[in-house]
Amino acid sequence: MSEAFDPEKRDIKNLPSITKYKSIWDTGAIGIVVTKNVIGSLKLQPIRPVHVETTSGPYETFAYLINLYLPNNILIPGSLGFRR
């Protein structure tokens, strides 16, 4: 995971560092839940407040833009992460 950037507009020699986290891939989810630890270590800034509905109930939180890297080196740029 890294801070979000547009891979087509960023100098490949000046990319943000990638940090590895253990995670669970929920194929039915429409967003990515990120913890306070991830937000803090990547120095992410919220892009907007959001209302999230979960099986545990609804809550208000903030959305963050991240780049998600899968173990097979697939990049998913501009992914939306939600603080839990």
Q: What is the pLDDT along the chain (84 residues), one digit of tens a residue?
A: 887 777 777 666 677 788 888 888 888 887 888 999 999 999 999 999 999 888 889 999 999 999 888 888 788 888 888 887
pLDDT attached to residue 16: 76
Q: What are phi and psi of 56, to 5 degrees?
A: -85, -5
The pTM of this model reads 0.78
Q: Which H or E run contains 59?
A: strand 57-69
**How many Å apart are CA 20 and CA 55, to the nearest integer?**
27
pLDDT of residue 46: 94
Domain boundaries, the chain: 29-84
Q: What confidence score (pLDDT) does residue 83 get?
A: 86
pLDDT at 10: 61
Provide the pLDDT for residue 12: 63
